Amino acid sequence: MAQENQAEAEDQGWKVETEVGLLIRTGNTESQSWKGKLNLARDIERWRHQAEFDYYRQETENEAGQDVIDADRFFAAAQTNRKFSDDSRSSLFLYGSYEDDRLNSYDFQSTIAAGYGNRYTWNEGLYADFEIGPGYSYDKRIDTGETSGEWILRLAGKLNWDITANSRFTQSMSTEVGNDNTRTRSVSALTANINSSLAMRVSLTLTHNDTVYPVEDGSLPEKLDSETAVTLVYSF
């Protein structure tokens, strides 16, 4: 079995990716949308650290000339893994996340979880992480302002595939199973390098809540929320 490729490499400090995309439409439809994202990662000895900060916003001008916000979402997550030994595929993880989406049923949703993780490596550029563990979710409803929390089970997986020296596909998916709500998040991304520091990325983000509540205008939001983005990525 191949050894995992990143954690055993020498520590090269923090790897940072900044991601920005902007779309402006004029003419029959006046709209603008933009996305900003920051990814941080570091592997050092038996530790693996990663974090992400993601913001997306879209505005459209209606027939009355007023700006209508179609999307306004912020998501942040951080995770630390501690391997059992230097060459172990198994680890213990600690995870936390926070999401603020003004157009869904919740003023905010937050999660903290811990448990067991495992990395399976097929070759140097193809590997997958799997994780399972208990956690606790805490959220606030928009319609009533009520806050509540519950114990959950978090299941997560992430695939990294270096297709060529200049292209990479990643797929991450997580499910947080609770009695009141089950939340699932999926991020698919295809990245193509332009040069050693700059790349172009196409991504699809899906967020699903089993339980939804009326928003400010009394309507019931969709359970599945999707976001498609084309962005430039700068790495250093």
DSSP 71: E
Predicted pLDDT of residue 8: 44
Q: Are 129 and 118 in contact (CB under 8 A)?
A: yes
Predicted pLDDT of residue 37: 96
Q: Are 14 and 42 in contact (CB under 8 A)?
A: yes
Express each pLDDT in 188-207 by its tens digit. 999 999 999 999 999 999 99
Predicted pLDDT of residue 27: 65
In a domain, 9, yes or no: no
In a domain, 96, yes or no: yes
User: Which positions of the chain have pLDDT values less than 50?
Assistant: 1-9
Predicted pLDDT of residue 2: 43
Predicted pLDDT of residue 7: 40
Tally the domains of the chain.
1
In a domain, 61, yes or no: yes
Predicted pLDDT of residue 69: 81
Predicted pLDDT of residue 169: 98
Residue 154 contacts by C-beta under 8 Å, 6 or more apart in sequence?
95, 111, 113, 115, 131, 132, 133, 134, 135, 174, 175, 176, 177
Q: Where in the sequence is the domain holding 158, given as residue range(s)?
A: 15-235
Predicted pLDDT of residue 70: 79
Predicted pLDDT of residue 36: 95
Residue 84 contacts by C-beta under 8 Å, 6 or more apart in sequence?
46, 90, 91, 92
Domain of 212, CATH number, reads 2.40.160.40
b/e code 130-156 from CB counts within 10 Å (16+ = b): ebebebbbebeebeeeeeeeeebebbb
In a domain, 178, yes or no: yes
In a domain, 135, yes or no: yes
Predicted pLDDT of residue 29: 62
In a domain, 111, yes or no: yes
What does the alpha-carbon distance between residue 49 and residue 41 come to, in Å, rounded to a whole number? 6
In a domain, 1, yes or no: no
In a domain, 218, yes or no: yes
Predicted pLDDT of residue 22: 86
